[in-house]
Chain A
């Protein structure tokens, strides 16, 4: 079949337009995250984060996660490593995937008791074949990534050990020969 040159150019222009449109949409979804899914995200957080954080703590982590998504820079250089070194850049923003996951979870999280919410999240993670907490948030499922965002953080490390280790802080050398101070109980 012969394709007329004009037709080919028209297709190429449309394809280019679509690609540009999709990247603009992805950017907008990241910048405005979580947009209309905010209530679902806030309903998801207490299911996947520890109750020990308290409602205020869970809100704080959720806000930090939203900021993380908004400030994500697709295409940024990544650490190229040592030993088996290679150049890599950050993949596309996970925001569009997160919005789809949240939309899928919305009915279950908007109603039902705590146990049914848990079961819905577990079912979603099983369906997405998530086997471990991601090392870097990879967009495979928003529930797994929200958990990884918190549980792999310096704050969660402190909570686990109930000690003010402050892994990611600059803390000075003085006193480091002592075990870290116990965490203060939430007021």
Chain B
């Protein structure tokens, strides 16, 4: 089969790829762009209400077929592999990082700084919010100033959130509603939210997902989307260190290798599969894989840790009004105590925990029918707040994604193994961080005659990123701030893998902002018109 040729070949079909392709084609309408995605396209929007119902009734997968059984990674937090990626089922939360995340070294003497100014990133946050369609209210803290308002008014606070905010702010900590890529009015051809309470399968498209962008892109003749096609290796030009081709296999015709040729290749496969492909692309010239002269591909894998609590409060909470919308305080994005580095967000959601129906009474007696209902009602007089803080942790160099020789896909390619490891300074803070959260949860509980029901610590790093971290120095980074790899001038990495650290709140908006900035650099390589 002859190779597919395009100006830009994007590997991966998630939110990063969608935003990159969209902006590239706006900046350079004549460009030919191909997106290659291993998973399927799940564009049957008319079935989504039915999938949602089966998910509620039977706990069936609301995205049938959104995975590849033998394309798994140890340590990955989602098996989703489809056109749209994890942003098919994301919650739509669009928090920004803060300047501290980019200036850890210069402000606190910790870990590293990013090779990008905050004011520069902030411009692209505004653009990301416009493109995704974010509804939100501004933060009360001057450090969180914005150069543009949110494109849509904030999601209405339900009765539950109003009650929770009243309770939470008695502690003296200001809260605001969480900004989300959910339409509070018709936006960008998609409908207004109708509060289905199942954002992981939004049946109306009110919550942004990349499949909508791809469907729009497919109306253009110079855009191609090849799904169910796994890229297994990047190969180099024999005479220079530029990428010449991506070697792939179509799951539907596995005996016919597929080749993609392009002037620019962009890895947009997320924190797991982007470094994985670079490591798989080893050759005698590059025995450690591509873009890896620093030895840092698959290193500094990052994410944030979290502590959670359930707090019973004196408020009438009606579980289920809108469990997908919550409150955030950004107070702790700033270090409160100069002698103790603890940075985190603070989130509050409605919950039914502790007030759910149960089969046995406190004495262990079986409850049926009326007695079960009476017991449930009696325990539901008070409400529950679900509270969580995602806190800032910094990766060690050995926080790694490696090729696992013991685990291979059907084609014999070794699969990734992710093992997060935190740096020594983070480990040294662990006890103090736990103590800080215990005190904070107690303070919240006491402020409103609440009762701390339980606390827990997360057993994985959430909102993961890293593996191809950006920097100015080729010896300590894989790519520059635009994602251009130091070793191969026509190979870029976009989005989450480029983050040196994952901040202390959801990362998707940051991944998209960085991607939109990369798009300008990539477009500048091609003539206008």
Contact = CB atoms under 8 A, between A and B. Distances in A.
A53 to B, nearest CB: 9
B147 interface: no
Interface string B172-197: 00000000000010000000111111
Nearest to A152: B357
Interface in A87-142: 87, 90, 118, 121-122, 125-126, 130-133, 136
Interface residues of B, number: 60
B218 interface: no
A153 to B, nearest CB: 9
Interface string B58-82: 1111101101010000001111100
Contact of A84 (B184, B197, B460): B460
Given A133-B357, A170-B195, A173-B184, A161 B322 contact: no
A151 B197 contact: no
Contacts of A156: 357
B326 interface: no
Contacts of B380: 160-161
A46 B76 contact: no
Q: Is the interface of A mostly helix, strand, loop or mixed?
A: loop
* Most chain B beta-carbon neighbours within 10 Å: one of A78, A118, A147, A167: A167
A76 B58 contact: yes
Contact of A122 (B59, B358, B368, B458): B368
Interface stretch (A3-11, A13-21, A22-30, A175-183): A175-183
A52 B373 contact: yes
A51 interface: yes
Nearest to A86: B79
Contact of A173 (B61, B65, B192): B192
B369 A47 contact: yes
B320 A157 contact: yes
A128 B360 CA distance: 14
B237 interface: no
Contacts of B458: 83
Contacts of B192: 173
A173 to B, nearest CB: 5
Nearest to A117: B368
Contact of B357 (A118, A160, A177): A160
Interface in B395-416: none
A41 interface: no
B521 interface: no
Contacts of B184: 173
A37 interface: no
Interface stretch (B25-33, B157-165, B219-227, B263-271): B157-165
A49 B367 CA distance: 10
A73 B64 CA distance: 13
B69 A165 contact: no
A105 to B, nearest CB: 13
A51 B77 contact: no
B42 to A, nearest CB: 12
B423 interface: no
B161 to A, nearest CB: 8
Contact of B156 (A73, A78, A173): A173
A171 interface: yes
Nearest to B91: A82
Q: Interface residue tally of chain A, by bracket?
A: 35 or more
Interface in B146-171: 155-159, 162
Contacts of B320: 154, 157, 165-168
A172 B357 contact: no
Given A132-B360, A151-B357, A167-B320, A90 B58 contact: yes
A77 B368 contact: no
A171 B195 contact: yes
A30 to B, nearest CB: 13
Given A86-B79, A132-B359, A136-B59, A170 B196 contact: yes
A64 B77 CA distance: 35
B474 interface: no
Nearest to B161: A177
A160 B373 contact: yes
B321 A165 contact: yes
Interface string A56-90: 00000000000010001100111110111111001
B78 A85 contact: yes
Interface in B338-387: 352, 356-360, 366, 368-370, 372-373, 376-377, 380
Contact of A163 (B318, B360, B460): B318
Contacts of B322: 176
B369 A76 contact: no
A166 B162 CA distance: 18
A51 B370 contact: yes
B462 A83 contact: yes
B77 A132 contact: no
B316 interface: yes
B246 to A, nearest CB: 27
B327 to A, nearest CB: 14
A48 interface: yes
A130 B23 CA distance: 56
Contacts of B366: 122, 125-126
B203 A170 contact: yes
B58 to A, nearest CB: 7
A126 B376 CA distance: 21
B67 to A, nearest CB: 6
Contacts of B79: 80, 85-87
B44 interface: no
A161 B80 CA distance: 36
B319 interface: yes
A48 B369 contact: yes
B67 A52 contact: no
A181 B365 CA distance: 33
A79 B89 CA distance: 11
17 contacts: A48-B369, A76-B60, A76-B61, A77-B61, A80-B80, A83-B460, A84-B459, A87-B69, A121-B368, A122-B366, A130-B359, A131-B359, A160-B377, A168-B56, A169-B196, A176-B156, A177-B156
Going nearest first, the 9 A-B pairs with the smallest beta carbon separation are A167-B320, A77-B61, A151-B357, A170-B196, A50-B373, A170-B194, A80-B79, A176-B158, A179-B159
Given A80-B61, A130-B359, 17 more contacts: A50-B369, A76-B54, A77-B64, A78-B60, A82-B89, A85-B79, A87-B79, A126-B366, A133-B357, A157-B320, A160-B373, A161-B380, A170-B204, A173-B155, A173-B193, A174-B156, A176-B159
